Structure 1
């Protein structure tokens, strides 16, 4: 019993889900199950129209677009299906209009002037009775200065109203102009700021104009510099390569020299301490240098050697182990030593 009840519930759920899915698919695909009549519409431009787009009469959906194909080389034939309950006269006018700013189109059918009877099934509406969609690129290029100066949300609203008015839907030109006036009012309130910007820009341009020779020379020199750099680009590239190699070699040299250089700097520190501690002796030695250099000059006056005459000798010789040895004192009694 439980299995049978569960199976019945599953079947009911599957049927309901299938029905909802079918309804959704039909809604999305704009499929019609009512009797309809096909008509052919000739447009000079049917760009953006796709099968499934709506066909409307007085804003009410009465059919859809079936196909689009080339007609006589430079025209477009749009085949539409219209409810059989709707009879189209031969004077019917067809216009391609925008549903929204995303570019979706629909075909609008309206009553034209004159009678002439009903249009037969698969009848043809010539290009003289059709109108292509607006060229939004050309339209909004004309409004570009205004659209650049207003907020994005205002751009969307204004653009949609422009399309509606120019397509003959909702709103009037007066309403459009009123909206444009409200948007441009903000620009009018900022005329003082805009005026100051223009004045400052005029001063800058005037200054540049007064120094046109300098500016011209600067541009000429800059062009010469760029031309020279362009002409020497190979030499500059080779120089950069050489500089890179030099940096690599210098880096290796510094890596090798750094340890002994560090030791030498430490030794220089010790030497500076010794020299500072014996400053008095150094001063005394430096003071006696002129006299000693005079004597050395006399001793070396005979050539690149020194002549010494030993008059006396009294020395103390230090030996390893803190042992010293005193030499015998020698005294020369020669008259040369007595002078």
Structure 2
């Protein structure tokens, strides 16, 4: 039994420490205040994203938490919150919803209002009226105003500058110098691009000047272009018919070429043969071309009396055969050429 007691004691101590640590961690995560607290409420015109469990702070120190957020009088928000019992709120206390970080978490900041009297305190259960509360900043409207600036910054610089803008405008101070430093850095970056921007503006001015000096011609060009487009619109049907006819012509031409392809191929091949023959008989062709005018002149004179040719026989020879009468053809001896025209 004594041997088993030591391990049991160690296990019990381990479980107790673990449970205690877990409880502390749970309380820390739940942001739960176990000390005595007093409850208050406040009216806000807008309590967007303010949730139960969010901090209630005085001068940046957490003194309580939001308990409940509900609608009151249809267009107002009533926020119930608790504050440590040892922390007394002045009757002139003011409440403002502020941004805890850029993720969107909020908290309520309590400050002393006008007419502060240390002897006058706000009793537990009382409410802070609407005129002494302020909602959170409208980040959408705020950041839209800084949109041109953010486009020139890196994401990290945007996050830093955004947070600093929020803290400055919420009156937390101490970051104006950093804000100006980032703004100065942006201004320097833009100044470095001054030459490029100036050159672009100069070139743009040159283009605009040229367009301006050609205003009349540009106007005429636009008018003529409008007339051309109008004319094309009016003649769209004839143009369409012409395009269709051109398409038909292209189709017909294609068919014609397909039918004529083989004969054309044969003609080209025959033309090669003709060219070769002419080349082989170059002297004969040259002689024919050289004496062709004289021959044509002579032939023209022979047909000057009518549609016939006159011939004078100077010499002749041949053979005559009579089937059935003469078994062998009779040779005719050459006739002598005795006339002067035949010998000249």
Judging changes above 3 Å, is the alpha-carbon distance between structure 1 residues 42 and 146 closer, same or farther for their aligned structure 2 residues? closer
Q: Whole-Å Cα distance in 2 between the matches of residues 68 and 245 of structure 1?
A: 80
Q: Please name the residue that 1:297 is paired with.
A: 300
Partner of 2:204: 201
1:176 aligns with one of 150, 174, 179: 179
Name the SS of the counterpart of 2:171 in structure 1. coil
2:109 alignment counterpart:
109
Q: In the TM superposition, what is the alpha-carbon distance from 1:181 to its structure 2 partner?
A: 1.0
Q: Where does residue 133 of structure 1 map in the other structure?
A: 137
TM-score by length of 1: 0.63
* Match for residue 120 of structure 1 among 117, 125, 137: 125
SS of 1:215 mapped into structure 2: helix
Among candidates 252, 273, 279, match of residue 276 of structure 1: 279
Q: Following the alignment from structure 1 to structure 2, what is the Cα–Cα distance between the partners of residues 163 and 283?
A: 107
Q: What are the ranges of 5 or more consecutive residues in structure 2 without an aligned counterpart?
A: 1-17, 319-330
Q: CA deviation at 1:129?
A: 1.6
Question: What is the distance in 2 between the residues matched to 1:177 and 1:237?
Answer: 68
Structure 1 runs not aligned, ≥5 long: 1-15, 316-326
The alignment status of 1:99 with 2:101, answered yes or no, reads yes
Contact 1:56 1:108 in 2 (8 A): yes
Report the TM-score when normalising by structure 2: 0.62
Q: Are 2:272 and 1:266 aligned?
A: no
> 1:70 & 1:243 partners in 2: Cα distance?
80
1:42 matched residue in structure 2? 44
After superposition, residues 138-157 of structure 1 pair within 5 angstroms as 139-157=142-160
- Name the SS of the counterpart of 2:106 in structure 1: strand
Q: Which residue of 2 aligns with 1:214?
A: 217
| Partner Cα separation in structure 1 for residue 163 and residue 236 of structure 2 | 55
* Whole-Å separation in 2 of the counterparts to 1:55 and 1:234: 77
* Structure 2 residue aligned with 1:285: 288
2:67, 2:308 → 1: CA distance? 125
Q: 1:152 to 1:135 in 2, by over 3 A?
A: closer
> Compared with structure 1, are the counterparts of its residues 165 and 276 closer, same or farther at alpha carbon in structure 2 (3 Å cutoff)?
farther
CA distance in 2, matches of 1:314, 1:66: 147
1:179 deviates by 2.0
Q: Summarize the Cα distance change of 1:214–1:307 in structure 2 as closer, same or farther, 3 Å threshold.
A: same
Q: 1:337 to 1:244 in 2, by over 3 A?
A: same
Bigger Rg over Cα: 2
- Decide whether the 8 Å contact of 1:64 with 1:81 is kept in 2: yes
**Equivalent in the alignment of 2:189:** 186
Q: Partner of 2:108: helix, strand, or coil?
A: strand
Q: CA RMSD in A?
A: 4.8
SS at match of 1:109: strand
Deviations 1:92-140 (A, max 9, x none): 423253731x6x342433235156624628x575266222432434x34
Check whether the contact 2:63–2:83 (CA below 8 A) recurs between aligned residues: no
SS in 2 for 1:133: coil
| Contact kept in structure 1, 2:71 and 2:78, CA below 8 Å | yes
